C-alpha cells in the first residue's frame, strides 16, 4: 500500500522482524531495487565487531538485497548498566565503516545516540555518522541532541514524530490543525520538516499515507513554531539509552 501511495523510503530493523515482509512486498511490486531506499538497524545483542558484520549479512538475506542504503546502530548500549559501552560502540562502528568502504552500505548512522555517545564515536572514527534517528515530536524535541547533531553535520531523523499518536490530542496541536485546515499528524510532521528533521511516520491506511506526504501545501509561522518548541513535555515514550 505504501509503494502504491508513492513511498520509496522504508525504515526497518532486525528487532522489528519486518525485513522479510518488506522484501516480499518489494519483490511482488516489480519496482527496481535502485528506486527504493532501504534502511535497517542492528539490535542491542548484535553489537560488536564480528557480531555486527554477521548481523548485517542476516539483514541482507532477509531483505533479499546485496546492499543497504542506510544501516544504523539501534541503541548505544545493550542495557543501561553495560559498563564497557564505549569500546563496544567503537568496535561496532569499525565493522560498519569497513562495510561502508566495501560498498555494502551506502551510508552508516546511529539511532538513539545522545551527544555523549556520539562524541565517543567521533574520537575513534574515520567516517562521521550520516544520520541519528531519535524520538522527536512536539513536546519531546531533545534539543541538546538535535543541536549537537546539526552542529556536526549529522542529519536528525524522527521516530515517533507524532508521539505514538499521544501528541495528536494536544490542545495546541489541535488548534493549529484547525487553523491550517490540516490534520494534527500533518502539524507534527510539518514541525519536524521546518526544524530540518526528517520525520519517519507510520500509517496503516491509504488516506493517512497520502495525507502524511502532503506537508508542503502549508507552513507554520515563526510564532507557531515557537509555541510548539515551548510546549510542556508531552508524549515521551519513556525510553532513554542511559536509564
Report the catalytic residues: 16
Query: How are strands ordered across the β-sheet holding 131-135?
Result: 9-11, 37-42, 70-73, 108-111, 131-135, 155-159, 198-200
Q: In whole angstroms, what separates CA 40 from the centre of its chain? A: 10
Q: Is 102 exposed, middle or buried (0-12, 13-18, 19+ CB in 10 A)?
A: exposed
Q: Measured between alpha carbons, how far is 243 from 240 in angstroms, rounded to an integer?
A: 6
Q: Measured between alpha carbons, how far is 138 from 236 in angstroms, rounded to an integer?
A: 10
Q: Which of 222, 211, 156, 166 is nearest to 189 (CA)?
A: 211
Show the CA angle centred on residue 192, arms to residues 97 and 90, nearest 5°: 20
Amino acid at each position: 500500500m505504501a509503494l502504491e501511495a508513492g513511498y520509496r523510503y522504508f525504515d526497518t530493523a532486525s528487532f522489528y522482524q519486518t525485513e522479510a515482509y518488506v522484501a516480499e512486498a518489494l519483490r511482488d511490486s516489480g519496482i527496481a531495487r535502485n528506486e527504493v531506499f532501504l534502511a535497517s538497524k542492528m539490535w542491542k545483542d548484535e553489537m560488536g565487531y564480528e557480531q555486527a558484520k554477521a548481523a548485517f549479512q542476516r539483514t541482507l538475506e532477509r531483505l533479499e538485497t546485496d546492499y543497504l542504503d542506510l544501516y544504523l546502530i539501534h541503541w548505544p548500549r545493550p542495557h543501561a548498566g553495560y559498563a564497557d559501552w564505549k569500546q563496544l560502540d567503537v568496535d561496532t562502528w569499525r565493522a560498519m565503516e569497513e562495510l561502508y568502504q566495501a560498498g555494502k552500505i551506502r551510508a552508516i548512522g546511529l539511532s538513539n545516540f545522545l551527544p555523549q555517545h556520539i562524541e565517543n564515536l567521533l574520537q575513534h572514527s574515520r567516517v562521521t555518522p550520516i544520520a541519528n534517528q531519535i524520538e522527536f515530536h512536539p513536546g519531546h524535541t531533545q534539543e541538546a541532541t538535535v543541536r549537537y547533531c546539526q552542529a556536526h553535520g549529522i542529519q536528525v531523523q524522527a521516530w515517533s514524530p507524532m508521539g505514538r499518536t499521544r501528541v495528536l490530542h494536544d490542545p495546541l496541536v489541535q488548534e493549529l490543525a484547525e487553523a491550517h485546515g490540516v490534520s494534527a499528524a500533518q502539524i507534527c510532521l510539518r514541525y519536524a520538516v521546518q526544524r530540518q528533521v526528517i520525520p519517519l511516520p507510520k500509517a496503516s491506511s491509504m488516506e493517512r499515507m497520502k495525507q502524511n506526504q502532503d506537508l508542503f501545501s502549508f507552513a507554520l509561522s515563526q510564532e507557531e513554531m515557537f509555541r510548539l518548541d515551548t510546549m510542556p513535555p508531552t508524549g515521551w515514550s519513556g525510553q532513554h539509552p542511559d536509564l
